[in-house]
Amino acid sequence: MVKIKETISAFIDEEANEVETHRFLRAMKQEVKDRDDPDIGEQSSLIRSLLNFMSIRTVLSKQPQLKGMSVADHEMLFHRIRAAIEKESVAQDLSSGASLRSPAVGLAIAASLVVIVTFVIFNLSKTESMEVVGSDSVNQTSGDREVETELRDLDIERQRHLREYLNEHDRIMRTKRTSQFVTNEK
Amino acid sequence: MRCLVAFFCFSVSLCAADAVEWLDNMGAALREQNYVGTFTYMRGSLLETVRVEHQFHNGQELERLTNLNGEPRIVIRRDNDIVCHHLNPKGGSFNHNISLGPFSAAFNENLATNHKQYLFSMHGKDRIAGRTAIKIKIIPRFGDRFGYRLWLDEETGLLLQSQLFKRNQILEVFQFSSIEIGQALDLENSSLVKKKTVFHRLTADPHLNQQVGNPAWRVSWLPTGFKPVRVQQANQLHFSDGLAGLSIFFERKRSTLPEMTTYLGATAVITRRLNGTQGQITVVGEVPINIARKIAESVERIAY
Amino acid sequence: MSGQKESVDKQLVDRVRRGDKSAFDLLILKYQHKIISLVGRYLRDQNDIQDVTQDAFIRAYRALPNFRGDSAFYTWLYRIAINTAKNHLVSRSRRPPNTDIDIDDGEFQDNSAVLRDNESPQDILATSQTEEVIFRAIENLPEELKVAVTLREFDGLSYEEIAVIMDCPVGTVRSRIFRAREAIEKRIALMDNE
């Protein structure tokens, strides 16, 4: 939880990387889902934290703020807007690849993709405490297709194709000799 | 106070100089030491355990890498020529992955230590695989590349352990669990692969001359410090800053790959269509994803 | 810095365009405060301001397939919000202002004078209390957290710039800023519960 909140803090500063943003997005989706679930109820702490952090910014950077609008009001407004967007049809990009819009291909991709974005905390007592990217699978929603995934979670054909590049990259980078560095090439 | 500051600066520069000297040793040791050992290499979700026998004789490297996990295969490397032997030919799909570990023979100490993109520092001693190791930390000055922690054998400078990290996240780990250094090896005269195998050459035959055409495309943006690596193929470009590598592959016709971003450990893989053409490019490299994306977006067609 | 900013928004926009609606949630959360401030310069009634803010986001969502990415996402959203506010004034038979608000003015000018006459004393009190809690929380922060968050929020410096000034790794800056915000957040929560 602390880790994801730190990501939120970095996100509002434009300092979260793509993988972190993806992780945050996933956590937020879960939170919104839980909120909509009457058995779980309202526990929107990530959204509340983000709005709190934005309110702190508004005050500290002396941006004009709407007097009397509390963080809770902001949160209510956010859920209102989100509910209204939910009723809208999907804002698909007309210019994106036609093949991906085909329902059959879309379903196939959705079915075949399982994303592994994982974060196993290693206690590296010999060094500083660090986080190691490991493995933990999370089901991918169809809306997430084409986002960054670990290589092994792609279908066999794509993996094969990309592994050829990866192997060639490894071969060149890990076997070439000093003399093969070019000093002045454009 | 001034004396203190001066002493501090002097200590820091001495420390960096020592680190650079150790990296010099590492570059040479990676090529020129004889050693036998077992290492693990974790890259994202990929974890490989490999037995390595490395010999340097008459100016040539000869290395046998035996994969101990998964499909049995042996990789024989003679300098830059790599052949992957599959010991179980009926085993189905062949994976020709080459687990050479980080840097390997390509490590370019001059390039890595001369440019100003990294800060080098020494962090005392440690014990890895039963040997005393010197700890070195290499951190990027800016957020456009990753950092490294290296544990080098105190006696020979050989790399015993490394971590590739971004901020507080470790993305790749390489570690010898056992190693013997300096003994005489006779790989040349031993049978490198004892049973019949299906083999796959991972390098172009060094005796074949390749025809190189004019490149049809160019990269207009790269992070500072990356220099081209010469490869005789018009459809690919490779760059390195001495530690991290970058490769860009070009296909004239659109492939089966959609535009996508993926990664393996610290290695980002991004596929993009090339504007105004049917062509497609793939960027592969040990750089943050946003940097790989920026490089991909800078690739453009050359009009002759 | 700005390059990276555009890049994060662009990634989120790309996700929305690929059908991932939840990515738009992050864009709402990120810009909701700014859009409210902007709309608040045209309108006075709190309910109107919230309605128009909502309308602006919906219009942006609908128009997203046409967003070409020539400008930053916020610049584009900003134009939509201004037009939505103006349309709202016209529909209420009120004349929109003759001059547009500059994008920076929309963010940074103090509009308290514009809004003062329609705020209740309770509203003003609540706002000043929040400000006071935030400022007091900052004063009570350990020095290193205070410096980090101040350089970020008052001076708008990037983590890299702060790392150079504070002579520490970027990761430490990131952690300090987060810890500072978390401490302030706790104080706000205490105030809400009182």
Query: What are the domain boundaries of chain B?
Result: 2-201, 217-301
State the pLDDT confidence band at B301, using cuts at 50, 70 and 90. confident
Domain limit, last residue, from C74, C93, C111 = C111
Residue with tokens 């010898």: B176
Given pLDDT bands bounded at 50, 70 and 90, which one contains residue B97?
low
- Of the segments A9-23, A90-104, C89-103, which one has the largest average pLDDT value? A9-23
Average pLDDT value for residue range B273-283:
81
Question: B30: closest CA among B150, B127, B157, B155?
Answer: B157
Indicate if C57 and C105 belong to the same structural domain. yes
Flag whether pLDDT at C72 surpasses 60: yes
Q: Are B123 and B136 in contact (CB under 8 A)?
A: yes
- Mutation pick from A11, A156, A172 vs chain B, by most beta carbons of B within 10 Å, is A172
Residue A60 lies in a domain: yes
Burial class (CB in 10 A: 0-12, 13-18, 19+), A144: buried
Contacts of A134 in chain B (CB under 8 A): 45
The fold of the B217-301 domain, in CATH, is Phosphorylase Kinase; domain 1 (3.30.200)
pLDDT confidence band for A91 (50 / 70 / 90): low
- Three-state secondary-structure class, residue B186: coil
Could you give the angle at the alpha carbon of B290 between the alpha carbons of B286 and B292, nearest 5°?
A: 45
* Pair C56, C135 in one domain: no
Span B25-45, average pLDDT: 86
User: Contact C19/A90 with Cβ under 8 angstroms?
Assistant: yes
Q: Which domain holds residue C33?
A: 2-111
Last residue of a domain, one of C60, C91, C111: C111
Q: How many domains does chain A have?
A: 1
- CB-based burial, C158-187: b 16+ in 10 Å, e otherwise: bbebbbeeeeebbbbbbbbbbbbbbbbbeb
Residue ranges making up the domain that contains A59 = 1-88
**Do the domain assignments include residue C178?**
yes
Q: Is the predicted pLDDT of residue A31 greater than 80, yes or no?
A: yes
Assess if residue C181 is contained within a domain. yes
Tokens linked to A86: 């939910």
Is the pLDDT at B165 greater than 70? The verdict is yes
- Tell me whether residue C116 is in a domain: no
Looking from the CA of A106 toward its CB, the CA atoms found within 13 Å total 13
Å between A38 CA and nearest CA of chain B: 36
Tell if the CB–CB gap between B143 and C171 is shorter than 8 Å. no
Selection from B157, B124, B216, B174 nearest residue B35 by Cα: B157
- pLDDT classification of B206: cutoffs 50, 70, 90: very low
* B173 part of contact set with chain A, CB < 8 Å: yes
Is residue A179 in a domain? no
Q: Indicate whether A25 belongs to any domain.
A: yes
Search chain A and give the residue with CA nearest C28. A78
Handedness of CA C151, C144, A9, C187 (dihedral sign): negative
More confident residue, B28 or B152: B152
Instruction: Please indicate whether, in this complex, the C-beta atoms of B106 and A177 are within 8 angstroms of each other.
Output: yes
- pLDDT band of residue B98 (cuts 50, 70, 90) is low
C194 confidence band (pLDDT: 50, 70, 90): low
- CATH number at C137 reads 1.10.10.10
> Per-residue pLDDT for B271 more than 60?
yes
Q: Is the pLDDT of residue B186 over 80?
A: no
pLDDT at A8 over 90: yes
Residues in C closer than 8 angstroms to A46, CB to CB, are none
Facing A93 at nearest CB: one of C18, C159, C185: C18
> For residue A33, what pLDDT is reported?
76
Residue A67 within a domain: yes
- Interface touch B142/C160, C-beta < 8 Å: yes
CB-based contact C160 B167, cutoff 8 Å: no
Residue A119's pLDDT is 29
Say if C97 falls within a structural domain.
yes
Q: Are C133 and C158 within one domain?
A: yes
Residues C106 and C125 in one domain: no
Q: Where is the domain boundary, C51, C78, C111?
A: C111
First to last CA, chain C: 39
Tell me if A7 is assigned to some domain: yes
Comparing A15-19, B176-180, B265-269, C44-48, the range with the smallest average pLDDT is A15-19
Mean pLDDT across chain C? 79
Do A132 and B173 lie within an 8 Å CB cutoff?
A: yes
Interface probe, candidates C14, C15, C22, chain A, greatest A C-beta count within 10 A: C22
**C94 and C146 together in one domain:** no
Confidence of residue A2 (pLDDT cuts 50, 70, 90): low
Residue A149 belongs to some domain of the structure: no
C24 and C107 within one domain: yes
User: Which 3 state secondary structure label does DSSP give C31?
Assistant: helix
Greatest mean pLDDT among A167-171, B59-63, C25-29: C25-29
Q: What's the pLDDT score for residue C112?
A: 37
Q: Is the pLDDT of residue B181 over 50?
A: yes
The residue of chain B with its CA nearest to that of C15 is B260
Q: Is the pLDDT of residue C51 over 60?
A: yes
Check residue A110 and give its pLDDT: 38
Tell me: pLDDT of B115 over 80: no
Is A70 within a domain?
yes
**Is the per-residue pLDDT at B259 higher than 90?**
no
> Pick the residue with more confidence: C116 or B64?
B64
Tell which CATH architecture fits domain B2-201: Clam (2.50)
- Please report the pLDDT score of residue C154 as a whole number: 82
- Chain A CB contacts of C14 under 8 Å are 93
Instruction: Report chain B's mean pLDDT, rounded to a whole number.
Output: 79
Q: What share of chain B has pLDDT > 90, as a percent?
A: 21
DSSP B210: P
Structurally, how many domains does chain C consist of?
2
Nearest CA to CA, how far is B108 from chain C (Å)? Answer: 26
Q: Tell me: pLDDT of A117 over 90.
A: no
Provide the token pair at B68: 């101990």
Q: How many angstroms away from the CA of C73 is the closest CA of chain B? A: 17
Q: Is the pLDDT of residue B210 over 70?
A: no
Q: Does residue C175 form part of some domain?
A: yes
**B106 vs A127, A135, A173: nearest CB:** A173
**Within a domain: A183:** no
